[in-house]
């Protein structure tokens, strides 16, 4: 009788082990699935700029900082570009461009910006000599 | 050179843009801030955030549009009838909706509320409020968690901006829409068609009118746009999409849409309600479900463990065994096992039966414990041991007596006088 109880206990332990394995597998699948994100709404293409940046296409999925500093997300290595020059952020569905108090300013469609602006499809952003085109999916 | 970080740069994480962003320069729009004859409303709850702008337009003298913002219920009514009667009709409709709308996202009940608004407008006209023949469109939505109920009549529209793509959810009840459906004109031609303002269904004319109603799923980050035809007749859907996706807050979106309608001509009253879904509640539901599952599994596991322990206890309680106890045979209650340092047996009684007197095989068995069916069995077995031992002792004594008779010169019984031998033999013979 005691042996039977111990046997049942053993079976239960094995069952528990399998349940644990199953849950782990499910969690793993969930993690993999969670990583598959929708494509970005906004992206920018570099139209004119230093050779290293030419033809660059960046999907904006989070904040993107431009500047001369190597820690910037997009490094524009030009003399007229500040260390951290400007930043793209997503606010709601909108793409916002903010000048980070750069020395020579940031131009949108040829106009310097003095406060954050929401960008539209086909807008032209100029930082130093680099010109970027905003596009929406 | 491009460096792509998976994480947001630490330096900039908390420095959120504090200034409200403006529209990018280079696009001509009419400023809507500080316009007279305009109404705005902004607000938010934990789940929703909204912004409203209602403008008289550049041509009309009265704003006949009415809107209702009573989260999670939103409605736009575009009145008609001329000489202020449209305002009366749309405000009656909004009032009735506010009173009659259901509390949960049930599109049938919401449709019934719109039909009640229809009856109220007809009754209002009969009672002399406004004018006979006044009417109103009505488009309303009710949001609950990740679902929304929609009911609409007329040509006020509801758009959904989902992940940067605009979808029109309602189907206008208008003459041009029927022409478009029939394939006679295109959607672009409909915007400039001479009969574009003829609507085929509205509140206030037919007592048997029914409202279109349906339910849709929504997700976090969706943006809903309710508008009167002052926007949709002036601005193309693709332009509405471009403006809606380029606005940060719902109020900014409403303002920008109205500004675009005004710069396109502003021929009619423009009313825009923009609602952002901040949280569709799915995450919370998932959390609740997970918590319930964990609770359920734990309960089942506890019940199984309790059943096992109970079974074991019952078994231990009903079993007996005999085993060695400090050289004598003892009767034990329970089973001869130790589980996690817990001894599953206790000594019930000791006996005077010495284990050393028992045969070697029985001694070995006693070391492990001999299972008994009951306490009586245990006693009986011990009695039989005792009898067996006594029997053996008697036999041994007899054998000893006999051997004494046979061997006179044994060390135990040294040679003795005749009388002694006789007495010993007499005692042995007893």
Report all structural domains of chain B as residue ranges with CATH numbers, in order of start: 3-280 (3.60.40.10), 318-399 (no CATH)
Q: Closest Cα of chain A to B103: distance in Å?
A: 28
Whether the pLDDT of residue A104 is over 50: the answer is yes
Q: Do B3 and A95 touch (CB under 8 A)?
A: no
Is some CB atom of chain B closer than 8 A to the CB atom of A123?
A: yes
Mutate to test the interface with B, among A13, A92, A107 (most CBs of B within 10 A): A92
Q: pLDDT, tens digit, for every residue of A8-67?
A: 889 989 999 999 999 999 888 887 776 656 678 899 999 988 888 888 999 998 899 999
Q: Say if residues B59 and B268 touch (Cβ distance below 8 Å).
A: yes
Structure tokens at B347: 């000594």
Q: How far apart are the first and last CA of chain B?
A: 120
* pTM, to two decimals: 0.75
Phi (first) and psi of residue A83, to 5 degrees: -60, -55
Beta bridge partners of B144: B147
pLDDT of residue B131: 82
Report percent pLDDT > 70 for chain A. 95
C-beta pairs of B315-318 under 8 Å, 24+ apart in sequence: B315/A1, B315/A2, B315/A5, B316/B344, B316/B345
Q: Say if residues B283 and B221 touch (Cβ distance below 8 Å).
A: no
Chain B residues lying within 8 Å of A87, measured CB to CB: 12
Closest CA to B152 of B93, B194, B196: B93
Is some CB atom of chain A closer than 8 A to the CB atom of B4?
A: yes
pLDDT of residue B368: 81
B-proximal residues of A, 17-46, CB under 8 Å: 38, 41-42
A-proximal residues of B, 158-217, CB under 8 Å: 161, 163-164
A-proximal residues of B, 8-67, CB under 8 Å: 8-9, 11-13, 17, 19-27
Q: Say if residues B230 and B222 touch (Cβ distance below 8 Å).
A: no
Is some CB atom of chain A closer than 8 A to the CB atom of B311?
A: yes
Q: Do B25 and A108 touch (CB under 8 A)?
A: yes
Chain B residues lying within 8 Å of A108, measured CB to CB: 24-26
Burial of B371 (0-12, 13-18, 19+ CB in 10 A): middle
pLDDT of residue B406: 55
pLDDT of residue B416: 47
Residues in chain B with pLDDT values less than 50 = 1-17, 410, 413-430
Dihedral (CA of B402, B406, B411, B417) sign: positive
A-proximal residues of B, 319-358, CB under 8 Å: 319, 335, 337
Q: Do A96 and B21 touch (CB under 8 A)?
A: yes
pLDDT of residue B11: 40
Chain B residues lying within 8 Å of A64, measured CB to CB: none
pLDDT of residue B4: 43
Q: pLDDT, tens digit, for every residue of B49-91?
A: 999 999 999 998 889 999 999 988 999 999 988 777 889 999 9
Mutate to test the interface with B, among A63, A71, A136 (most CBs of B within 10 A): A63
Judging by DSSP bridges, how do beta strands B65-70 and B73-80 pair with one another? antiparallel
Q: Do A8 and B164 touch (CB under 8 A)?
A: no
Is some CB atom of chain B closer than 8 A to the CB atom of A71?
A: yes
Q: Closest Cα of chain B to A92: distance in Å?
A: 5
Q: How far apart are CA B95 and CA B329, in angstroms?
A: 94
Is some CB atom of chain A closer than 8 A to the CB atom of B245?
A: yes
pLDDT of residue B404: 67
Q: Do B335 and A121 touch (CB under 8 A)?
A: no
Tell me, letter by letter, the H, E, C secondary structure of A57-119.
EEEECCCEEEECCCCCCEECCCCCCCCCCEEEEEECCEEEEEECCCCCCEEECCEECCCCEEC
Closest CA to B158 of B210, B82, B200, B211: B211
Q: How far apart are CA B44 and CA B273, in angstroms?
A: 13
pLDDT of residue A23: 93
Q: Where are the alpha helices (DSSP H) in B82-174?
A: 85-100, 107-126
**Which chain B residue's Cα is nearest to A7?**
B308
pLDDT of residue B12: 41
Q: Say if residues B378 and B350 touch (Cβ distance below 8 Å).
A: no
How much is the average pLDDT of A73-96? 91
Q: Do B242 and A5 touch (CB under 8 A)?
A: no
Chain A residues lying within 8 Å of B3, measured CB to CB: 70-75
pLDDT of residue B26: 77
Is some CB atom of chain B closer than 8 A to the CB atom of A81?
A: no
Mutate to test the interface with B, among A15, A26, A35, A118 (most CBs of B within 10 A): A118
**Interface predicted TM-score of the whole assembly (ipTM), two decimals:** 0.79
Give the count of beta carbons closer than 10 Å to the beta carbon of residue B185: 16
Chain B residues lying within 8 Å of A7, measured CB to CB: none
Of B12, B23, B248, the CB nearest to A65: B12
Q: Do B247 and A94 touch (CB under 8 A)?
A: yes
Beta strands in B205-327 (DSSP E): 212-217, 223-227, 270-277, 320-325
Q: pLDDT, tens digit, for every residue of B111-146?
A: 999 999 999 999 998 888 878 888 999 999 999 988
């Amino acid at each position: 009788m005691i042996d039977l109880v111990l046997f049942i206990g053993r079976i239960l332990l094995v069952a528990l082990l399998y349940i644990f394995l199953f849950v782990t597998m499910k969690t793993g699948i969930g993690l993999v699935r969670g990583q598959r994100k929708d494509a970005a709404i906004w992206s920018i293409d570099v139209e004119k700029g230093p050779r290293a940046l030419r033809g660059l296409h960046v999907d904006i999925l989070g904040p993107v900082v431009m500047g001369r500093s190597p820690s910037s997300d997009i490094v524009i290595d030009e003399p007229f570009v500040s260390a951290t020059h400007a930043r793209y952020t997503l606010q709601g569905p909108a793409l916002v461009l903010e000048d980070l108090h750069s020395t020579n300013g940031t131009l949108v469609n040829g106009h310097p910006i003095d406060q954050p602006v929401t960008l539209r499809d086909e807008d032209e952003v100029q930082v130093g000599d680099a010109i970027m085109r905003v596009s929406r999916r | 050179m491009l460096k792509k970080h998976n994480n947001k740069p630490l330096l900039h994480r908390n420095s959120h843009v504090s200034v409200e962003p403006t529209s990018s320069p280079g696009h001509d729009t009419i400023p809507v801030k500080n316009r007279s004859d305009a109404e705005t409303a902004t607000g938010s709850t934990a789940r929703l955030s909204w912004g409203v702008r209602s403008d008289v337009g550049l041509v009309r003298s009265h704003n006949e549009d009415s809107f209702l913002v009573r989260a999670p219920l939103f409605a736009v009514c575009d009145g008609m009838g001329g000489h202020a009667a449209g305002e009366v009709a749309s405000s009656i409709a909004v009032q009735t909706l506010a009173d009659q709308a259901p509390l949960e996202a049930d599109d049938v009940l919401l449709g019934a509320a719109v039909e009640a608004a229809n009856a109220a407008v007809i009754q209002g006209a009969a009672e002399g409020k406004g004018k006979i023949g006044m009417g109103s469109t009505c488009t309303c939505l009710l949001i609950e968690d990740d679902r929304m109920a929609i009911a609409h009549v007329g040509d006020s529209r509801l758009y959904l901006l989902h992940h940067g793509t605009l979808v029109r959810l309602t189907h206008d009840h208008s003459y041009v829409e029927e022409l478009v459906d029939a394939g006679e004109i295109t959607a672009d031609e409909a915007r400039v068609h001479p009969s574009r303002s003829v609507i085929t269904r509205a509140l206030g004319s037919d007592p048997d009118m029914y409202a279109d109603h349906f339910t849709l799923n929504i997700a976090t980050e969706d943006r809903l746009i309710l508008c009167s035809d002052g926007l949709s007749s002036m601005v193309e859907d693709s332009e509405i999409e471009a403006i809606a996706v380029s606005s940060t807050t719902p109020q900014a979106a409403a303002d920008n849409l109205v500004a675009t309608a005004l710069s396109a001509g502003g021929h009619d009253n423009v009313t825009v309600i923009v609602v952002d879904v901040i949280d569709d509640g799915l995450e919370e539901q998932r959390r609740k479900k997970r918590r319930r599952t964990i609770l359920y599994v734990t309960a089942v596991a506890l019940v199984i463990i309790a059943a096992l322990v109970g079974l074991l206890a019952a078994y231990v309680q009903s079993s007996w065994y005999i085993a060695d106890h400090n050289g004598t045979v003892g009767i034990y209650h329970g089973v001869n096992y130790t589980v996690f340092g817990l001894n599953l047996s206790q000594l019930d009684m000791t006996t005077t039966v010495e284990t050393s007197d028992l045969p070697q095989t029985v001694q070995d068995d006693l070391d492990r414990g001999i299972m008994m069916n009951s306490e009586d069995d245990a006693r009986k077995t011990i009695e039989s041991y005792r009898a067996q031992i006594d029997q053996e002792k008697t036999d041994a004594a007899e054998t000893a007596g006999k051997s004494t008779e046979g061997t006179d010169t044994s060390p135990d019984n040294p040679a003795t006088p005749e009388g002694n031998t006789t007495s010993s033999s007499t005692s042995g013979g007893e």
